[in-house]
Structure 1
Amino acid sequence: MGEIHLATIAKISENLEGWIAFLAALSPYSDELLCEPIAGKWSIQDVVSHVMGWDKNFTKALIQIIDKGQVMLKEDPDVQAFSDSSVALSRTMKPHDLLNEAIAQHKQMIVKLQMVSESDFMRPVPNSIYTLETFLHEMFVQHDRHHKEQIVNSLQSMDY
């Protein structure tokens, strides 16, 4: 059995901050380009809003953990409906306003994460296969990375 590497809150925060830098790097692109479909029918704007929806949702969970000391993770029962509503909401925003909002939301999530105790961070979540650490790594760090690669690949293949 290999050694299981556990990340600290600082390490996870550092990984999450990569998404903020990436969003900031998208700001020179035009609104038109940010609204062009890249992944099925989703545009870059849609992908950013999809991630922001999960950030908002998880920030609420972090506030519960900080306030009550209870690590509870409640996954939205219909992941597709949740993503669709996040995307629909963002389509009412200008793409660059959305980028700024997504950056602010991600920063807020990291600030809240840094208020969680290391013991809560490592404690197994009731009725779950996760700890907060493994959940964040799989559902946020790897999820951000997946969508970042998706956007980068699409930008490289576009003539802009």
Structure 2
Amino acid sequence: MRDTKAVITSYGEFSKWLISLKELSNEEWIKPIAEGKWSVREMISHFMNWDNYIIATVVPLVKDGEPFGFPEFESFNKLASSYATSGISKDDLLDEVILTRNHLVQVLKDMPEEVITKSLPVGGHTHCPHTGEPYSLIYIIQEFIEHDLHHKRQLQGVLK
């Protein structure tokens, strides 16, 4: 059984790193991380897009004891890219991403332990095919921590 408080705290600590991105130049902010890849701003918007999805779709289903799934990734991720390139300023986007992450962390903290750890099917599957662990909201949050860290490492590699 995972320590839900530690997982939620870890998820929230990502905001500290996001704040540091306010120091980026505009050139760094809009530069793709590699040819044909997203820019820093698009990747940052991507984090918020997923947090909003968890808040608006996943949490209500979990609270009702209902299974959940995820949208088709490519079109969903394009929404994040479009928002990032819509003209929103670097500081405004970062503020919005941080506010959204902090809101999600508070939502998770307010959920009863038995709800956040309850096993539920995700995308029609009861267990993760890679680990064999049963799916639950806290398991998915742990997966998103890994997802965030993957993208953070990509960005750090480019921003050095």
TM-score, length of structure 1 as denominator length: 0.84
2:11/2:141 contact within 8 Å kept: no
- When the two chains are superposed, the root-mean-square deviation of aligned CA atoms in Å is 1.5
Q: Which residue in the other structure is 2:83 paired with?
A: 89
Q: Which residue in the other structure is 2:17 paired with?
A: 22
Deviation at 1:136, TM superposition (A): 1.3
The superposition leaves residues 7-43 of structure 1 with CA deviations (integer Å, 9 ceiling, x where unpaired) of: 2331111111221011001111122211111143311
Deviation at 1:65, TM superposition (A): 3.6
Change over 3 Å in CA distance of 1:115–1:65 after alignment to 2: farther
Paired residues in the alignment total 147
Distance in 2 between the 1:108 and 1:142 partners? 19
1:63/1:112 contact within 8 Å kept: no
- In structure 1, runs of 5+ residues without a counterpart are 1-5
Deviation at 1:47, TM superposition (A): 0.4
Deviation at 1:64, TM superposition (A): 4.4
2:33/2:40 contact within 8 Å kept: yes
Distance in 1 between the 2:150 and 2:37 partners? 17
SS at match of 2:23: coil
1:36/1:43 contact within 8 Å kept: yes
1:72/1:125 contact within 8 Å kept: yes
Amino acid at match of 1:151: L
Q: Which residue in the other structure is 1:46 paired with?
A: 42
Which runs of structure 2 are paired with 1:1-160 in the superposition (5 Å)? 6-39=1-34, 40-60=36-56, 61-66=58-63, 68=64, 70-76=65-71, 78-92=72-86, 93-126=88-121, 127-128=124-125, 129=127, 130-138=135-143, 140-156=144-160
SS at match of 1:27: helix
Q: Which residue in the other structure is 2:131 paired with?
A: none
TM-score, length of structure 2 as denominator length: 0.84
Amino acid at match of 1:25: S
1:51/1:144 contact within 8 Å kept: yes
